[in-house]
């Protein structure tokens, strides 16, 4: 092997090394990964239900009751939250059913009983009436409250949003007395 061949091999190895280091430095500039900011928005994680790995002494703050939230609920804010529902539901008196039933006067009415709407078996099997608490529980997570429901909505996780939309629904034909706050 003469010196010219040795120089070509050494040059190729050095070029490869420089190329690898260059790509590594360029990718670290383009794709910088910053550590999580401790003051950032917390991600809510659903409880799996098993108590196998958690602290048994941890007390979870449930927050104010639904009655307390309803006492300060704002139907105008509920109308804004209801825009999430407007793609599938109507709220007007005598409004047509869409993908979901018309929700006018739904509070206090029997579950799965809006005329002309074909409900899933999960809702028809529930029975009873739509109370404030029952509707709040359903709106929090429809798939968990009525497994097998055809409603594809993920739910309203914020208790204030649920209270506001309940106040709005109550103004839309139900007009029930609000539960007494503690």
Which among 127, 146, 148 is positioned nearest to 138, based on CA atoms? 146
The alpha carbon of 42 is separated from its chain's Cα centroid by a whole number of angstroms, namely 14
Render pLDDT for 31-51 as a digit per residue (tens, 0 to 9): 877 776 666 666 666 665 555
Which among 90, 79, 88 is positioned nearest to 167, based on CA atoms? 79
Render pLDDT for 55-107 as a digit per residue (tens, 0 to 9): 555 555 678 899 999 999 999 999 999 999 999 999 999 999 999 999 999 99
Q: Is residue 92 part of a domain?
A: yes
Burial class (CB in 10 A: 0-12, 13-18, 19+), 64: middle
Q: Is residue 102 part of a domain?
A: yes
Number of structural domains found in the chain: 1
Indicate yes or no: pTM above 0.75.
Answer: no
Which among 34, 60, 33, 35 is positioned nearest to 46, based on CA atoms? 60
Q: Is residue 4 part of a domain?
A: no
CATH number at residue 72: 1.10.760.10
């Amino acid at each position: 092997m003469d010196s010219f061949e040795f120089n070509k091999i050494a040059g190729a190895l050095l070029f490869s090394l420089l190329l690898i280091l260059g790509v590594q430095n360029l990718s670290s500039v383009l794709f910088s990964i910053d550590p999580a900011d401790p003051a950032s928005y917390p991600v809510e994680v659903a409880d799996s239900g098993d108590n196998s790995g958690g602290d048994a002494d941890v007390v979870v703050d449930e927050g104010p009751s639904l009655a307390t939230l309803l006492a300060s609920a704002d139907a105008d804010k509920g109308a804004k939250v209801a825009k999430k529902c407007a793609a599938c539901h109507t709220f007007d008196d005598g409004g047509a059913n869409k993908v979901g039933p018309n929700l006018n006067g739904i509070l206090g009415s029997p579950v799965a009983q809006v005329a002309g709407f074909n409900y899933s078996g999960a809702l028809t099997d529930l029975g009873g009436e739509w109370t404030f608490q029952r509707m709040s529980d359903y709106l929090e997570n429809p798939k968990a409250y009525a497994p097998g429901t055809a409603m594809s909505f993920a739910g309203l996780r914020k208790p204030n949003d649920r209270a506001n939309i309940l106040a709005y629904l109550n103004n839309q034909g139900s007009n029930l007395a609000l539960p007494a706050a503690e």
